Structure 1
Amino acid sequence: MNLNKIVKISLAVLGAAAFILWLQLPSSDAPVGEAVDSGAVHWMFMIVYFLLGVAVLFSVFFALKHMFANPQGLKRTLIGLAAFIVVIGLSYALSNGSDGTVETMAGRGVSTTESVVKNIGTGLNVFFLLVIIAIGSMLWGGVKKMFK
């Protein structure tokens, strides 16, 4: 039996199991607590987690295989990884945990610490810096194309 047939059969079995579980889901007028504790919901999430894990494993495997097969690709990947680490470091340095947010959150009944606020700020700064970099690279590519 070749791998293609094994994959097709296993996907058919998982699809049939998901369909059976879908038929066993609680009705829409069921209380939320009862719906969350449903065995069908639990097993559907297990199927989703399994398929997500398989997809991530295969994606990582083939990306690494391609990366190591091409030395130029490996070099570009390492440069990109180093640049990402620099963005994270810069974002961490720019974030501030003592800007009064801890007191504001405590006033709202949410207990937090300065390190949590600093980590959240770091995440936001990483996001914004990556958006700026993405927009800049798109504009740079467009401008380069215009002058060629």
Structure 2
Amino acid sequence: MGLHKILRIVALVLAIIGAIFALIIIAGDEETAQSMGGNLLYVAYVVLGIVIALVLIFVLKGLFAGNIKKTLMTVGAFLAIIVISYIISSGSDLNLKPFNDKGLGITEAISKNVGAGLYAFYFLAILAIGSMLYGGAKKIFNR
């Protein structure tokens, strides 16, 4: 039995357990929840940890099985976009006084991080739209 089949069975079991717990939570049956050991949140954390571990295993397995140079170039380009977004974000172009008067505690650093995230989103959205247009145009002109 291969690793893929074993992990498919584990994923199926986790999905069934998750569905049962979801139904218990949705139904609001507190007696069943209490009889299962109290807080179902801990069970959710364990299941989430298992799922994240399985995802990491498959990502690392696929990373080393494929073209690692191309993967590292893509990750490097993504990190370059994040760094450029952070550099061009000022963080001081927003009047923070109204937010801080409401007790939100927004600083220039938080504003700079939000701005960097927005710039990164814009850059990545433009790249995604551009690559779709390029692929569509290339398909049309190669016919």
TM-score normalised by the chain length of structure 1: 0.71
**Aligned-pair distance for 1:143?**
0.8
Give the CA RMSD over aligned residues.
3.3
Q: What does the per-residue CA deviation read over 1:67-97, in whole Å, with 9 as the maximum and x for residues that have no partner?
A: 2123xx2111101110011100110012111
Alignment gaps of 5+ in structure 2: none
Whole-Å Cα distance in 1 between the matches of residues 131 and 48 of structure 2? 31
Aligned residue runs from structure 1 range 27-106, under 5 A: 43-70=39-66, 73-106=67-100
Whole-Å Cα distance in 1 between the matches of residues 84 and 99 of structure 2? 25
Whole-Å Cα distance in 1 between the matches of residues 15 and 111 of structure 2? 46
Which one of 110, 118, 142 corresponds to residue 104 of structure 2? 110
Instruction: Tell me if 1:25 matches 2:21.
Output: no
Residue in structure 2 matched with residue 139 of structure 1 by the alignment: 133
TM-score normalised by the chain length of structure 2: 0.73
- Percent of matched pairs sharing the same residue: 36
**Deviation larger for 133-142 or 7-16:** 7-16
Q: What does the per-residue CA deviation read over 1:87-141, in whole Å, with 9 as the maximum and x for residues that have no partner?
A: 0011001211111332232244422211111011111111121111111111111
| Cα pair 1:14 1:47 within 8 Å, conserved | no
CA 1:105–1:62: 2 relative to 1, 3 Å: same
Whole-Å Cα distance in 2 between the matches of residues 62 and 5 of structure 1? 12
Alignment gaps of 5+ in structure 1: 27-37
Whole-Å Cα distance in 2 between the matches of residues 127 and 102 of structure 1? 23
Q: How many residues align?
A: 133
